[in-house]
Amino acid sequence: MNNPRYDTLTTSNHFDSIAEVFNRIWYFSDDYKDFVINHIHRDLSLSAEDILVDLGGGTGTFTSRIQDESGVTKAYCVEPSVAMCDEAAKLKNITALCMDAHAFISTKTPFSKLLLKEVIHHIDEREHFWQAVYTRLPKKGKLLIITRPQHVAFPLFASAKTAFAHNQPPYELFESQLKACGFKVTTLKRSHSFTLRKENWYEMLRHRFMSDLSIFSDEEIEEGIREIEEVYTEESIDIIDNLIFITATK
C-alpha cells in the first residue's frame, strides 16, 4: 500500500513528542507489566553474568525493572529519541545510549542478551542488522522480539487498524530472516486481557500512544473515537493484547 500519509511524521519525531507523557499513557495495568517482564526473564534466561541491551528501550522503565529483578551485570537502554533517552538517563541503575539500532551495533559494545520490545517494525535493513547481531552475540547469546500480529484485537477505529497493519510486517518474516542467519528460533503467542475505563483509552488515542496514530489529525481522532463509541457502550472496555514472543539463540 503506497499511501503518502504513512510518511508524514518520522518515528523518532513522534516519540519525541510523547516522551513526557509516555510512561503514563502507555500503561495498561500492573498485572500486564508483570506478565511481560516475567516472560522476558524466562525467554532470555537472564542471569547475573548477562549484559542486557534493551533496544528501542524508550524511557527505560522496563530496562530498569529488569536490571533490578534479574541482577544482570549491566543493562543498556538504547533509544534514538533524545527526549525519550533523556527520561531513561534519569534512571541510575541503567545506562542510556541515545542512538538507533544500526548505530548501536556498529559501536561493537559487548552484550549477551538483546531485547526488542515493540520496536522491530521501526528498524530498517533488518537482514543486515540480524547479521551484525549474530556476529556480536557470544555462543548461546539470545535475542527476544516482542511484537504484535498485523491484525490487532485492540478497540481501534477502522482506519487506525489499517495503518497498524500497514506498518507491521508479518512476524514470519522476522523468523525466516533470523533462521537464515543461523539462529535457532522459537515463537510463542501469548495474550493478556485487561479492562480500561473508556476515558483512559480515549486519552491514549488522543495522545497517539502508538506511532501508527501519528498520521491522524485531531478531528480524525475524535471521529475515530465516535466510531468506537458506537460499538462499546459500557463505561469500560475489555481489551485483549495478543503478543508474539520470538526468541532467537545463537
Task: Catalog residues that contact ligand SAM under the rule CB under 6 A.
Answer: 11-12, 15, 55-58, 62, 79-81, 84, 100-101, 117-119, 122-123
Residue number with CB closer to ligand SAM (115 or 228): 115
Residue number with CB closer to ligand SAM (153 or 236): 153
Place of cell 545510549: 97
CB 242 within 8 A of CB 189: yes
Residue number with CB closer to ligand SAM (50 or 118): 118
Closest distance of CB 209 from ligand SAM, Å: 8
Give buried/exposed letters for 58-96 (b at 16+ CB in 10 A, else e): bbbbbbbbbbeebebeebbbbbbbebbbbbbbebeebbb
Closest distance of CB 120 from ligand SAM, Å: 9
In angstroms, the Cα distances linking 200 to 107, 179, 250 are 40, 40, 41
Closest distance of CB 231 from ligand SAM, Å: 25
Q: Is 33 helix (H, G, I), strand (E, B) or coil?
A: helix
Closest distance of CB 233 from ligand SAM, Å: 30
Residue number with CB closer to ligand SAM (55 or 132): 55
